Structure 1
């Protein structure tokens, strides 16, 4: 059990030489936090989102934080990897990577992606490695007294720009009270949601999660947003459920309204066909989700923008490798977001601070999270004027709130969810709903 008498764990701990630092123990704690009924191409978000919090403790009194998916199968893999890392040097990231891979040799491969069935081709090794890589970098920063951005090459920006992430949504989960955002199931509702995003957070870019309603309706929503916010760049993400002809037709219609079109189709070849036919950049976090996808996507000229996600790509170190490949081959770069808490947000910010070729405002689900639902001490990460100031404290620059971690772990136990399943939840509400790709 966690020590509920300690409200936060301080990063102010004894300095030591890197070579004397060893992993002493690792805690992997699944947590749950409230999630609104956000609609997407495979269903609807359940009342709670799941995450796993990784805390790596060293023999020198330091600790490092990582955050990742909370599906039961993924948590089991994290715990197996954690056992393999006992005694390892957190400064030896190559060894950490190898030990994680070795722990997965006998993996049964049964799900646990945490992405609701949308992205299932990510690298298993990288998906498990990510939280440990982040935690080790957090430790390194605390030992050396520098932020993680310094370890990644140095911060080249003081603030990181984020986009307002718009969703079609119901007013409430069935049987529960409405939330502050209200309903958004048509263009007028999306515009009202965008006004609140811009007013409350100052976003200078907006993205609509599509793939929910017929393409004509979603195109009309983009056109309504463009009319309401003519100076704000817009993105549309149908989550790969359009056919090539549909994507080309809608792409032509929205050429004057969109900054880019994200994942109109699921396959590399199909996105290449769309890209060749329309005058819009194509972004992806679905058809290029691992290093194995880069060569065929570049060869096919399928995408212009890779939306990186350190949870997919093996953490912050390998995400920096991705940024170098993108620069080499003339690809633009930004960041994808899944439902996340403050540790992941801090990691995203440190990475973006040290990645020169972040060409577009990054995605984040941060506004959709209740303020009280987090495991870090509040106050460090705030979106103002559409951006977040990069923490300059040691490591990730955030502190663990152990009481909050305890509370959110109990919330996980109480909610009864063991894996994310947007489709089954939708079908429990609408038995006629079918999972289909392409849908239009």
Structure 2
């Protein structure tokens, strides 16, 4: 028997140790999407992490692009050379140790709405994805195989609706137009559904008085009688307001997401409303799970590999939700193609995924990405799981350089929805809860 191919493969894998990391911050155009803490700035920030190995194979991860987060990524990167690319546990230990002396401020990437999740897991995430990308390339298998195997061939996503201005101040209007009332939201939703085929819709709320946002949901129900609907005010409502809205929309919503701040507040709402409560704000780390379960605060956890520690630790979360009978889906922040590919592979290999995932993808200029076109396409509201090695995508080096140059030129170094809104409207005040 000829053992040469197996021996050659083993020798190849034995060389798969990290030799260095390249971190490239990028910026891409973002529309003026409104939320309870302000409005999106003209550019969204991300960081592209490329991990190099002595096997001559590199892998990519994507994460937040705030200055503080990038500084932590660099601390972590300096700790990783020599680490076996297949030993993500060792990577995690090295990263946590590197962050022990962390005195960096800010850098959570979520404009203050989600800041309590584990810093170590936020930093680990991009390296975890890059390591799995490399492992898949070395083995000739997609990342979903490394996570246990795909149980679905395509991943369903929901259309993510936002109140928005027609344009950033001083700029030309975009193709989406203004959406500041129920008519505008329905028009936006119709474009989303017609263009991408979404089979569920979610409204980012907490922007206008609850009565106006209830009217928008009712208008969506009238236009789309069969689509599951969700609303997410980012904890902008008091417990009393949340209960009132929940009762008024009982039988209309698939779930109500983060209506009020904190585990105790969510539990108080949950005792009074009929539909499930979902969260990506009061349960954002493993330390939050036990108290949320004990309080009966939530029914659905919206995971996000960017702050749950990557793909494998997100699968750990999926096991916990299955154990306690909780629903599971995915949260989204403004992202590029590397993040979308990672989300798709994770969702494919997570049997207990119960709801269509969130995505900001439609809000991104199609011409702006760091991956080559063609690997990820929306069809009937879903993205097919790539079957090529690793993440199954190819980074476009020229595009990466263009978006890096845009980062350097735009001048934005940390996401600040509130500060941007206050520069436009000096009387704007941040309030939580707002109504």
Alpha-carbon distance, 1:109 to partner: 4.4
Partner of 2:5: none
Alpha-carbon distance, 1:384 to partner: 1.0
Matched, 1:298 2:293: yes
Tell me, in whole angstroms, the C-alpha distance in 2 between the residues paired with 1:67 and 1:328. 30
Matched, 1:101 2:89: no
Tell me, in whole angstroms, the C-alpha distance in 1 between the residues paired with 2:206 and 2:379. 29
Tell me, in whole angstroms, the C-alpha distance in 1 between the residues paired with 2:21 and 2:173. 39
Out of 141-150 and 14-23, give the one that drifted further.
14-23
Alpha-carbon distance, 1:175 to partner: 0.4
Partner of 1:3: none
Partner of 1:288: 283
Partner of 1:219: 214
Partner of 1:265: 260
Tell me, in whole angstroms, the C-alpha distance in 2 between the residues paired with 1:205 and 1:228. 13
Partner of 1:45: 40
Counterpart of 1:70 (choices 65, 69, 74) is: 65
Tell me, in whole angstroms, the C-alpha distance in 2 between the residues paired with 1:19 and 1:239. 47
Tell me, in whole angstroms, the C-alpha distance in 2 between the residues paired with 1:120 and 1:76. 17
Instruction: Give deviations 1:139-174, integer Å, cap 9, x for gaps.
Output: 000000000001111000000000000000000000
Matched, 1:156 2:171: no
Provide TM-score, normalisation by structure 1.
0.96
Q: Give the alignment of 1:125-164 within 5 angstroms.
A: 125-164=120-159
Matched, 1:30 2:30: no
Alpha-carbon distance, 1:19 to partner: 2.9
The 8 Å contact of residues 122 and 309 in structure 2, kept in 1 or not, is answered as: yes
Tell me, in whole angstroms, the C-alpha distance in 2 between the residues paired with 1:19 and 1:301. 48
Tell me, in whole angstroms, the C-alpha distance in 1 between the residues paired with 2:241 and 2:311. 36
Partner of 2:198: 203
Instruction: Give deviations 1:164-217, integer Å, cap 9, x for gaps.
Output: 000000000000011110000000000000000000000000000001000000
Matched, 1:256 2:237: no
Tell me, in whole angstroms, the C-alpha distance in 2 between the residues paired with 1:240 and 1:234. 18
Cα RMSD, aligned residues only: 0.9
Tell me, in whole angstroms, the C-alpha distance in 2 between the residues paired with 1:177 and 1:387. 31
TM superposition outliers: structure 1 runs of 4+ over 2 Å: 14-20
Partner of 1:231: 226
Alpha-carbon distance, 1:117 to partner: 1.0
Matched, 1:173 2:174: no
Counterpart of 1:323 (choices 298, 318, 328) is: 318
Tell me, in whole angstroms, the C-alpha distance in 2 between the residues paired with 1:317 and 1:355. 10
Please state whether the residue corresponding to 2:271 is helix, strand or coil: helix
Matched, 1:427 2:427: no
Please state whether the residue corresponding to 1:277 is helix, strand or coil: coil
Partner of 1:60: 55
Tell me, in whole angstroms, the C-alpha distance in 2 between the residues paired with 1:164 and 1:33. 20
Matched, 1:358 2:353: yes
Q: Which runs of 5+ in 1 are unaligned?
A: 1-13
Instruction: Give deviations 1:247-286, integer Å, cap 9, x for gaps.
Output: 0000000012110000001100110111110101000000
Matched, 1:334 2:334: no
Alpha-carbon distance, 1:241 to partner: 1.2
Alpha-carbon distance, 1:372 to partner: 1.1
Tell me, in whole angstroms, the C-alpha distance in 2 between the residues paired with 1:239 and 1:179. 25
Partner of 2:80: 85
Counterpart of 1:20 (choices 10, 15, 26) is: 15
Please state whether the residue corresponding to 1:334 is helix, strand or coil: strand
